[in-house]
Chains A and B, each alone.
Chain A
């Protein structure tokens, strides 16, 4: 078995003295692990940092084997964001999100979204906007997509400002007003082409996606929301001030 694909490093785990198990988010082969011999060397350590883009060749005798990776660097962007708190926490959080996906299942759209976010990770406001949308996309990819196209109560397609925590469907201002304390706020940028208007919009977006990620993705696996997510949101908030 052998294939070559572009991938983004999600993490490495030391294996023995000189090798590492590399976890990549690849374009055509999804989240895929493999052994990198000599992965702890000074040269390879810099290449195998989360967020870096690589071209990886995976080889194994049988498909179900862990297999061996040989990698060459495409974009060593990790060095660019080590100095920014929101960026290092952001990339850690993105890796944790990608780990929710089953191994070896292709998710080309997720890969492309991840690549786009990493290219803008140094811009806190833009990165936060993209990550909030990424969380929605990931929920949909996991089969728990929210329906933000029309009001769950009236069918209205405009003035959608709430989401029902029970159904995950949008609720219009008028229909949601009596239940506003029990509904989640839906910032316009999550269902339109607009950009967040205020830090409050971003906070509302992360509260919304966090609620559903916790309920559908993390809690059923016995996990808490990643700490890196809270650190990322806090760092973006500081950067916006």
Chain B
């Protein structure tokens, strides 16, 4: 079947189709939209992408991604340097920042231990975390990892490694989410919430 558009446009559609949430059909729509708004959207988008390619770096301290190194979080003197929040991925860091949950520094592991996916301790930024935690200024390491078997395996593994470091190791609570109705919660979450109940 002959192509409906030139190779440049087909290439654009193919690349857009690789983005999360987009399939071939929606990539075609997105490409058409960009082409129609060439000056208003497409050119600034291309410039923004080019700029991002040139400037984005992985923070050498925490593993966050930013346009400066050390990243904005690590360079911020108002951050509490006595606590390190350990997250699996940059998306988790962003989620905690959106929630203004804690004014601490972070450490991005780059994933969680997963034997099925072949991810072992050497594939994660665990050694760097242990080194950071051994700093006398660090008093607490908060393990903000998923409430999954892989996430908690990683948490327990790190806890073992931090045994020698003189830091308090904490983890996020597991339980009822805000707006969650007990009737609709799964039994596992309910049981975990009941076990972690606190004085009121």
- Is the CB–CB distance between B153 and A92 below 8 Å? yes
Query: Which B residue's beta carbon lies closest to that of A21?
Result: B116
- Quick one: which of B176-191 are within 8 Å of A by CB? 186-189, 191
- Quick one: which of A182-237 are within 8 Å of B by CB? 226-228, 231, 234-235
**A11 on the interface (CB 8 Å rule)?**
yes
Q: What per-residue 1/0 map shows which CB atoms of A88-99 lie under 8 Å from chain B?
A: 110110011000
List of A residues within 8 angstroms of B156 by Cβ: 85, 88-89, 231, 235
Given A92-B115, A234-B160, CB of A73 within 8 Å of CB of B153: no
Report the stretch among B86-94, B103-111, B144-152 that lies at the interface: B144-152
Query: Which A residue's beta carbon lies closest to that of B187?
Result: A76
**A49 on the interface (CB 8 Å rule)?**
yes
How near does chain A come to B103, taking the closest CB pair, in angstroms? 27
- Quick one: which of A39-89 are within 8 Å of B by CB? 43, 45-47, 49-52, 73, 76-80, 82-83, 85, 88-89
B: contact size bracket: 20 to 34
- Quick one: which of B19-77 are within 8 Å of A by CB? 20-21
Of A45, A78, A96, most B-chain CB atoms within 10 Å? A78
A51 to B152 Cα, complex, angstroms: 14
**B192 on the interface (CB 8 Å rule)?**
yes
List of A residues within 8 angstroms of B115 by Cβ: 11, 92, 95-96, 226-228
How near does chain A come to B72, taking the closest CB pair, in angstroms? 30
Cβ-neighbour of A46 out of B116, B121, B157, B188 (below 8 A): B188
- Is the CB–CB distance between A88 and B192 below 8 Å? no
List of A residues within 8 angstroms of B117 by Cβ: 13
Query: Which B residue's beta carbon lies closest to that of A50?
Result: B149
Query: Which B residue's beta carbon lies closest to that of A48?
Result: B148
* 28 A-B contacts (beta carbon < 8 Å): A11-B116, A17-B20, A17-B21, A51-B149, A52-B188, A76-B187, A78-B149, A79-B147, A79-B186, A79-B187, A79-B189, A79-B191, A80-B191, A80-B192, A82-B147, A82-B148, A82-B174, A85-B156, A85-B159, A85-B160, A88-B152, A88-B153, A91-B149, A92-B149, A95-B116, A96-B115, A231-B157, A234-B160
A96 to B117 Cα, complex, angstroms: 12
A83 to B189 Cα, complex, angstroms: 12
List of B residues within 8 angstroms of A82 by Cβ: 147-149, 152, 174, 192
A23 to B192 Cα, complex, angstroms: 25
A92 to B115 Cα, complex, angstroms: 8
Cβ-neighbour of B116 out of A13, A49, A80 (below 8 A): A13
A206 to B114 Cα, complex, angstroms: 23
- Is the CB–CB distance between A228 and B153 below 8 Å? yes
How near does chain A come to B173, taking the closest CB pair, in angstroms? 11
- Quick one: which of B112-139 are within 8 Å of A by CB? 115-117, 120-121
A70 to B56 Cα, complex, angstroms: 42
How near does chain B come to A94, taking the closest CB pair, in angstroms? 11
A176 to B7 Cα, complex, angstroms: 77
- Is the CB–CB distance between B186 and A49 below 8 Å? no
List 15 additional A-B contacts (Cβ < 8 Å) besides A79-B192, A82-B149, A83-B174: A17-B20, A43-B186, A49-B148, A49-B149, A76-B186, A76-B188, A79-B186, A79-B188, A80-B188, A91-B149, A95-B115, A96-B115, A227-B115, A227-B121, A228-B153
How near does chain B come to A129, taking the closest CB pair, in angstroms? 21
- Is the CB–CB distance between B116 and A231 below 8 Å? no
List of B residues within 8 angstroms of A79 by Cβ: 147, 174, 186-189, 191-192
Query: Which A residue's beta carbon lies closest to that of B23?
Result: A17
- Is the CB–CB distance between A46 and B192 below 8 Å? no
List of A residues within 8 angstroms of B191 by Cβ: 79-80
Shortest beta-carbon contacts, A-B, top 10: A79-B188, A85-B156, A76-B188, A11-B116, A82-B152, A50-B149, A88-B153, A79-B192, A88-B152, A76-B187
